[in-house]
Amino acid sequence: MSWRRWMRNNVVMLVAFAAAIVTCCFVPFDKEYISYFDFKTLTCLFCTLAVVCALKNIYFFQTVAKKIVCLFKNTRSAVLALIYITFIGSMLIANDMALLTFLPLGYFVLDSTNNKKLLSFTFIMQTVAANLGGMLTPFGNPQNLYLYSYFSIPNMTFVKIMLLPFLISVALITCCCCMFVKKEALILQKNETNRMNNKKRMVIYLLLFVFSIAIVFRSIPYYWGLIIIPVALFVLDRKALKMVDYPLLLTFCAFFVFSGNLARIPAVNNLLGSLVNKNTLLFGVLSCQVISNVPSAILLSKFTNNFSQLLVAVNIGGAGTLIASLASLITLKEYTKHEPTRVRSYIGLYSACNFSILIILFVVMAFVM
């Protein structure tokens, strides 16, 4: 691979590192840098990426995609099914894990039926579904878990706060799909002959996937994932370990440094502190667009007791820019892998869809809160 192609395929990582390096000029290296990194998230990403690669190698996703094609007879219903699966998955296993799991499934459904023209729209809607679907549960998004614990929010209060934006999100996503995806017959291409070739390995890999999800729920210490899954795949499928998207992991590391440093720059910190009390919902959403929703939740929680508006802000604020939710970078990376020459058009469509949904959600919630 030429260096130009490598740079084009890893442009997000390079931008993330450039942004991190710039912030390092304002915040000298010290022992606090290590606190920027969410090692549990990085471990879950690595484990899930590795298991997903192993499942790809036994044609698991192709097999499931074929069943979806047989079950849903047209493109609209198939795309909706993929998006709803991602939506529900984000509530149960968090937004980044849902994207890692269901984006490959979306690709195989569209690719095997010669509908790659819908790839960018489907990926974008899956991303919106992942970022907004997780808002209903405390463990659906990392920022939810933090605010749920920090403010000791009662369970029913949490659900009551997030139910309206959740329902609006479901309606908006459904309407977008009905408007922009035509009902066309799904036809499996004749050359799509790969079938799952090892059911025993499938069972083992699915158990490993469940194991990685248990780490998300903190049922198992994250460091066990770094031991068991690599060892298992080293024995069963070493190729899967080589296929892991390590540049994506490095991208997350760079953005952890970027957002962590930005929060420590006095001018940024003081500005946010003075603004958040004027309108927590508005400036919470704006903060997410610049330093992403998880750092925003951590930073702004120190300046306000209005946890209801802050909770809504850092959830709906996950829509908007590509860094509003770091989970969105997973989708960009996956799309770049399949369509490296159409990244600009993808970012344009992504921005149009996300900002439209964000504006609608913000206006409604600003009116009712």
Q: What is the pLDDT of residue 14?
A: 83
Cα 36 to Cα 351: distance, rounded to the nearest angstrom: 27
Are the CB atoms for 188 and 109 separated by under 8 Å? no
Cα 223 to Cα 214: distance, rounded to the nearest angstrom: 12
Bridge partners, 185 (sequence order)? 74
| Residue 120, in any domain of the structure | yes
Q: What is the pLDDT of residue 281?
A: 95
Does residue 183 sit in helix, strand or coil?
A: coil
Instruction: Give residue 255's domain range.
Output: 59-196+245-368
According to DSSP H, which parts of 181-237 are helical? Answer: 199-216, 222-236
Q: Which of 25-34, 44-53, 272-281, 295-304 has the highest mean pLDDT?
A: 25-34
Q: Into how many domains does the chain fold? A: 1
Q: 217 falls in which pLDDT band (50, 70, 90)?
A: low
Q: What is the pLDDT of residue 93?
A: 65
| Residue 297, in any domain of the structure | yes
Assessment of whether the complete model's pTM goes beyond 0.85: no
Mean pLDDT of 288-311: 84
Bridge partners, 74 (sequence order)? 185
Two tokens, residue 268: 């940024």
Cα 196 to Cα 62: distance, rounded to the nearest angstrom: 8
Residue 70 corresponds to which amino acid? C
| Residue 212, in any domain of the structure | no
Are the CB atoms for 97 and 128 separated by under 8 Å? no
For 185, phi and psi rounded to 5 degrees? -65, 135
Q: Is the pLDDT of residue 61 over 80?
A: no
Q: What is the pLDDT of residue 195?
A: 63
| Residue 231, in any domain of the structure | no
- Percent of the chain surpassing pLDDT 90: 33
Cα 285 to Cα 289: distance, rounded to the nearest angstrom: 7
Report the interhelical angle of 327-338 vs 246-264 (nearest 10°). 140
The pLDDT tens digits of the residues spanning 5-51 come to 777 667 767 877 888 899 999 999 999 999 888 787 788 778 878 88
Taking alpha carbons only, the member of 91, 98, 83, 88 closest to residue 136 is: 91
Two tokens, residue 208: 């490993």
* Helix %, strand %, coil % of the chain (to 5): 80, 0, 20
Cα 16 to Cα 179: distance, rounded to the nearest angstrom: 34
Q: Is the pLDDT of residue 191 over 70?
A: no
The pLDDT tens digits of the residues spanning 69-113 come to 778 878 999 999 999 988 888 887 667 778 888 898 889 889 888
